[in-house]
Structure 1
């Protein structure tokens, strides 16, 4: 069983990425060409849309930490205002405004279920976006003022 500090020490030197939760590291699967293309297009669109605004787009190199203790790498994120980090290494953010995941057959259930459970505990998170690889569909969950979530599907 690892501490979060031990995980971060290992992760910062590892040749591949792993999520961390409750003392365990979980190796992340590699993405397909389609996954990469969708993610790249999303990042490009977001960067163009956010020009001149106090929000910045990040790819999956920026690790997120949820209040539940999950350390993970969303496919893309948007942070509005100043970044808040877990420590002085400035590689683990705490305050995303929008998180995006490109769904795959192997991760879809997790992204829709347990991962979203973790993401919902992030106080700054306002939108969670799921993008299908298999059909032209984007689902966005918006946080309401009463802390419930509303789903919009396009």
Structure 2
């Protein structure tokens, strides 16, 4: 005999649970997913990204959030992106209209980042760029939207990515400078 169907968690129930929980969870199509901890390389790369993107976002009237800000992508799905830039404020509990989303790939997060997150993120009307930054090798993948067309780019050492939001050129080498990739 099969397992009884589990009732999907509502957005309201998720937000209440998340306020009391000592650990953060994604809400993925009504199901809770505990978030994995991040290694040293992940945190170093995220810091370098925030130092590059944050000031330019502020200059353009936007806000950059790292790790602890929720993104509601549908009524039953909420994620905590590693980095998010928002130029249109949303309700206080979560954001809804980012122009840039960044996920830093690790062994434990790669399937979710390339799977359900990619699927949901690329459907956000406000999104102009989704970046996947590897914490194990110097590699950056970008999904960039121009008008209604997505372009995929893969970049490595020595290459630069022109970001549409905020408008800046992101050098792959700057993200990995001083990072020991063997430490994940």
Q: 2:109 maps to what in 1?
A: 107
Q: 2:19 maps to what in 1?
A: 12
Question: Larger relative contact order (C-alpha < 8 A, sep ≥ 6)?
Answer: 2
Q: 1:130 maps to what in 2?
A: 132
How far residue 23 of structure 1 moved from its aligned partner, in angstroms, is 2.7
- Equivalenced residue count is 148
TM-score w.r.t. structure 2 length? 0.75
Q: 1:97 maps to what in 2?
A: 99
Deviations 1:100-132 (A, max 9, x none): 000001211221122100111211111001111
Deviations 1:30-62 (A, max 9, x none): 111111111111111112333421222111111
Q: Which runs of 5+ in 2 are unaligned?
A: 1-6, 156-184
Q: 1:144 maps to what in 2?
A: 146
Q: Which runs of 5+ in 1 are unaligned?
A: none
Note if contact 2:30-2:76 (Cα within 8 Å) is conserved in structure 1: no
Query: Cα 1:132–1:6, aligned 2, differ >3 Å: closer, same or farther?
Result: same
How far residue 68 of structure 1 moved from its aligned partner, in angstroms, is 6.0
Q: 1:70 maps to what in 2?
A: 77
Determine which of 59, 80, 102 is the counterpart of 1:52: 59
TM-score w.r.t. structure 1 length? 0.89
- Secondary structure of 1:92's counterpart equals coil
Computed over aligned residues only, the root mean square deviation of the Cα atoms, in angstroms, reads 1.5
Note if contact 1:84-1:94 (Cα within 8 Å) is conserved in structure 2: yes
